[in-house]
Amino acid sequence: MSAINWQWLLIIFSSVVLFLLSPLAKTREQFFKATHNKKSPNTLVLMGSLVISWIFAKSITNAANLGLSFGLVGGVAYAGYYLSFAIAGVVLYKIRVEGKFNSIHHFLTSKFGKGAMALFSVLIAIRLFNEVWSNTMVIGSYFGDIGSSNYYWAIIIFTLLTLAYAIKGGLSSSIFTDVIQMVLFGVLLIIILWNIFSVKDFTINKVLHSGTWSFELGLNLFFAALIQSFSYPFHDPVLTDRAFISSPKVTRKSFLWASLLGALCIILFSIIGVFAQHQGMKGQAAVEVGQFFGIIVLLVINFIMITSAASTLDSTFSSFSKLLVIDLGAVNDLTFGRASMAMIAILGTLPVFLDAEILSATTISGTMVIGLTPVFLFWKKSVPKISFFLSVTTGIIFGFLLIFESFPNSLIFTSGNYADLLWVNIWGIFCCIIVYLIPSWVKK
């Protein structure tokens, strides 16, 4: 049987098993809050769910490719984004315990009004929309070239199969399957690393000395990731929805551990790229390494992609459903919640047929939402409602400056890859904080 046929078997078999094992949600609490026998997810379950839902297909593809480009430094740089869990865990703990808010939408509506909540909802809806196509396109690329029939069929079938078990149980299905997918990810990663380190001349020492710790060769991205971690997590409902379903203490502990474990997983996966660099490979690191070792390792890498993409996709469907039904109060009905999952699946798949640019969503959207930094960092500070709009709009403007490469070179003080990303974020966050605070200074 050919590799493609094995890959089809993996997708269909794993999805059917997850569908059969997923709990059927009959109540709002089960569908939107993942309660089971009136109990919320514990620390271990919540931590595993957080990590696997953020180790998405495009994320580990990026990690491997950065390892190929920059060595271990590339993996560490990308792992910098996982500081987001620690930041979100601490801030949202305080918002819940000290502010007595039961969701981010509750917090924003109370402090800045319905207009702020509406703008924020648009931002996170775009984020969820991006998550669908950017993950399924990675899956498609393992079945055929972009534009081929195999490529399109893999995306459509994978999306429909994941949608099936997401509709069945909502967030309960998502978190339940996340635990299975996290264990699978760990086992499969160990198999890949075992094969890589069994190759003669490739040692841990080679990995440790595979990159140069300079701004030009990875550190620009590392510091940009750390800076974005103060805003990035708050526009991702896949992450923030999980911050309000368990007790505050369980949540904080889960988020802090997830920060460490998530970063470690990304660094370990980037070793695939380091190995590709060591072997002089070019192209997509994970695909090249899989082909180097043969069909078994290629299928293992493919299965990791399927696992990570499915975990993100089902979480995306659940978060979009909660956004419409709970946060925006569109129609308070489970049937509508399930229908909204199908809606985002269809809308999110359309860009696949329009040749949308893959793997750009993370850094660009990360810059566009830097205006959320002062909103959550200074959540206790009393400011006029206009502060929210000034800061968020300023962040979006800086995001466009980055997209259109219009940021002045005279304000970029390092060189190499991601230098513009770093300095747009530094200057952008500085400006966002200033415009956020100015109205309260004027008021005085």
pLDDT in tens, 173-217: 999 999 999 999 999 999 999 999 999 899 999 999 999 999 999
Q: Can you give the pLDDT at residue 24?
A: 93
Q: Report pLDDT digits (tens) over 65-114.
A: 999 999 999 999 999 999 999 999 999 999 999 999 999 999 999 999 99
Residue type at 146? I
Tokens of 298: 């290629």
Residue 149's Cβ-count burial label (10 Å; 0-12, 13-18, 19+) is exposed
Mean pLDDT value of segment 405-432? 96
What do you get for the CA distance between the two ends of the chain, in Å?
A: 74
Neighbours of 30 (CB within 10 A): 21
**At CA 146, angle to CA 143 and CA 152, rounded to 5?**
60
Decide if 77 contacts 225 (C-beta within 8 A): yes
Decide if 41 contacts 246 (C-beta within 8 A): yes
Q: Report pLDDT digits (tens) over 123-150.
A: 999 889 888 988 888 899 889 888 899 9
Spatial separation of the C-alpha atoms in residues 167 and 309, rounded to whole Å: 17
Tokens of 85: 């869990």
Neighbours of 130 (CB within 10 A): 20
Q: Report pLDDT digits (tens) over 330-379.
A: 777 899 999 999 999 999 998 888 765 544 544 456 899 999 999 999 99
pTM for the predicted model, two decimal places? 0.94
Q: Report pLDDT digits (tens) over 240-260.
A: 999 999 999 999 999 999 999
Q: Can you give the pLDDT at residue 361?
A: 42
Top mean pLDDT of 3-12, 34-43, 166-175 is at: 166-175
Q: Can you give the pLDDT at residue 363?
A: 41
Spatial separation of the C-alpha atoms in residues 340 and 292, rounded to whole Å: 42
Spatial separation of the C-alpha atoms in residues 234 and 127, rounded to whole Å: 11
Spatial separation of the C-alpha atoms in residues 173 and 191, rounded to whole Å: 27
Q: Can you give the pLDDT at residue 175?
A: 94
Mean pLDDT value of segment 12-24? 93
Spatial separation of the C-alpha atoms in residues 384 and 255, rounded to whole Å: 31
- From residue 192, give the alpha-carbon distance in Å to each of 24, 29, 33, 38: 34, 39, 35, 39
Tokens of 43: 């620390």
Tokens of 151: 């490529």
Strand partners, 36: 39
Q: Report pLDDT digits (tens) over 377-405.
A: 999 999 999 999 999 999 999 999 998 89
Q: Can you give the pLDDT at residue 277?
A: 96
Cα 162 → chain centroid: 17
Mean pLDDT score of the chain, rounded to an integer? 92
Give the model's confidence band at 235: pLDDT under 50 very low, under 70 low, under 90 confident, else very high: very high
